Amino acid sequence: TWGVVMRKDCELAKKTAIKKEDLVDLPLILSSQVTQQTKNGDTYDEWFGKRFADLNVVATFNLVYTAAQFVAQGIGYMITFDKLVDVSSESPLCFRPLEPLAKSKLYIAWKKYPVFSPAAEVLFKKIQATFASKA
C-alpha cells in the first residue's frame, strides 16, 4: 500500500488518508526508481494523473532511510510503501495511506543457479513456498 510518511506534528498528520489535492503544493520526496518509471507512464502517473507534472518534488531517494531523515528534519513529505519506515510511538514520523488506495505489484528475482548461505536458503525456500500457489 502506498502512502505518505510525514512528521506527526504536521497538519496533514491529522487526516486518516491523503488525497491528491492534499499534496499539490507540498514539498515531496519521491523514490528515484518510481520517478523514472513515471516518465514511462507508470506508478505515480496512475494515481496522480495529469497533476504529476505539477508536483513540488524537492528530492528523490534511493535509500528510504535517508529520505526518512529528510522528513524528520521537516524537508518534505515522502511518498512510499507502508511498513518501510519506523512510525512507532517513539518515532517523530507517521504514515497515512493514499486515497483512493494505491497499490503496486512487487517482484522478487534471483539468479538461475543461486548459491545461498544456509540462512538465505531457508528464506528462499520460505518465499517459494509462500508464493508458489499465487504464481
The region, left, alpha or beta by phi > 0 then psi within -120 to 50, assigned to residue 49 is left
Q: What is the CA radius of gyration of the chain?
A: 17
- What is the chain's mean pLDDT, rounded? 87
Residue-range definition of the domain harbouring residue 24: 2-97
Q: How far is CA 25 from the centre of its chain?
A: 19
Q: Count of domains in the chain?
A: 1
Q: Has residue 24 been placed in a domain?
A: yes
Give the number of other Cβ atoms within 10 Å of residue 92's Cβ. Answer: 15
Q: Has residue 108 been placed in a domain?
A: no
Residue 44 sits in a domain of what CATH number? 3.40.190.10
Regarding predicted confidence, which is higher, 130 or 68?
Answer: 68
**Residue 24: band (very low, low, confident or very high) from pLDDT cuts 50, 70, 90:** confident
- Asked whether the predicted pLDDT for residue 39 surpasses 60, the reply is no
Q: Has residue 135 been placed in a domain?
A: no
Q: Has residue 120 been placed in a domain?
A: no
Side chain identity, residue 46: E
**Cis-peptide, bond into residue 100, ω within 30° of zero:** yes
**Residue whose grid cell is 518515532:** 91
**Residue whose grid cell is 505539477:** 54
Q: Rounded to two decimals, what is the model's pTM?
A: 0.78
Q: Has residue 7 been placed in a domain?
A: yes
Q: Has residue 6 been placed in a domain?
A: yes
Give the number of other Cβ atoms within 10 Å of residue 15's Cβ. Answer: 13
Q: Has residue 119 been placed in a domain?
A: no
